Amino acid sequence: MTPTSLIGGHVSVTGGLATGGLKYMAEIGAEMIQVFVTNPRGWALNDGKPDEDAKLAESGVPAFIHVPYLVNFGSPSPETLANSIAVVRHGLRRGVEIGAKGVVVHTGSAVTQPRDDALRQLHDNLLPLLDEIPEGGPDLLLEPMAGQGAMLCATVQDLEPYLAALDWHPRACICLDTCHAFAAGHDLAAEGGVRETFDALHAIAPGRLKLIHANDSKDVCGAKKDRHENIGAGHIGAQPFGDMMRHPAVAGVPICIETPGKAPKHAEDIALLKKLRDG
């Protein structure tokens, strides 16, 4: 029997990582959650509360951590690189503490330096962190971007040199964002577009897809703009999400929304995805 993908969302943790996160999860009808454990737009690191960590770990809810958006292992700035190392190391440690399945990190940009130099820098600085992940700890989930600027990884095909730069480390896995993939040129709305995209992903990195960020797109395919829309309300449309959940590469892979709005809108998006999955 084909494993079923759990459907959930990024949740508010106001009131505590477990107390707030699990409450929001219930409000939106989620089956899994993604959380921030630090300010997503800063470098400040903080320790969790052991009681909240234990409560979340013991809940049995599949949880994922998203590290701050500023992380960039391809940056020519020594300060950004040092902060990126510290933030990802912290995120992986927090992942162990809360029993997270994976820690999501954006794949970054070369900014102003040559791409080869940025990939070499990625090898030298991210590979040691992958080696530090303990047995039973979370995978590091690499999330390709929308293709704007000097991004190191946007299309599915970009994952091949990126993973090669990490020596195809077994803990280097993938989080695919549907809005990013669409913006980077994968036409998920076209007939056969979902199949083509996930066939290519499976051919390049079989078994490494561990999470999907299910987001519709406010912009057209190939626009290289990262603007999420509610499921079915954007240029991807609802049906491709149903097609995606029937692709063999997606079997059993959790699906997490990061769509606009608050709890009522998130509940609608999750209900629609469940209908597409179960219908």
- If pLDDT is split at 50, 70 and 90, which confidence band does 1 have? confident
pLDDT in tens, 132-167: 999 999 999 999 999 999 999 999 999 999 999 999
Q: Is 228 annotated as a binding residue?
A: yes
Q: Is 177 annotated as a binding residue?
A: yes
- pTM over 0.95, yes/no: yes
DSSP state of 34: E
Distance of CA 46 to the CA centre of its chain: 21
In this prediction, residue 2 carries a pLDDT of 83
Q: Is 180 annotated as a binding residue?
A: yes
Other beta carbons within 10 angstroms of residue 78's beta carbon come to 8
Please, what is the angle between helix 50-59 and helix 78-98, to 10°? 60
Q: Is 97 annotated as a binding residue?
A: no
How far apart CA 157 and CA 155 sit, in angstroms, is: 5
pLDDT, averaged across the chain: 97
Percent over 70 (pLDDT), the chain: 100
pLDDT in tens, 173-224: 999 999 999 999 999 999 999 999 999 999 999 999 999 999 999 999 999 9
In this prediction, residue 142 carries a pLDDT of 98
- CB 178, CB 244: distance < 8 Å: yes
How far apart CA 218 and CA 75 sit, in angstroms, is: 28
Q: Is 66 annotated as a binding residue?
A: yes
Opening angle at CA 197, ends 195 and 203, nearest 5: 95
Q: Is 52 annotated as a binding residue?
A: no
What is the chain's Cα-based Rg?
18
Q: Indicate the helix (H) or strand (E) that contains 16.
A: none
Q: Is 202 annotated as a binding residue?
A: no
In this prediction, residue 67 carries a pLDDT of 98
In this prediction, residue 71 carries a pLDDT of 98
pLDDT in tens, 60-97: 999 999 999 999 999 999 999 999 999 999 999 999 99
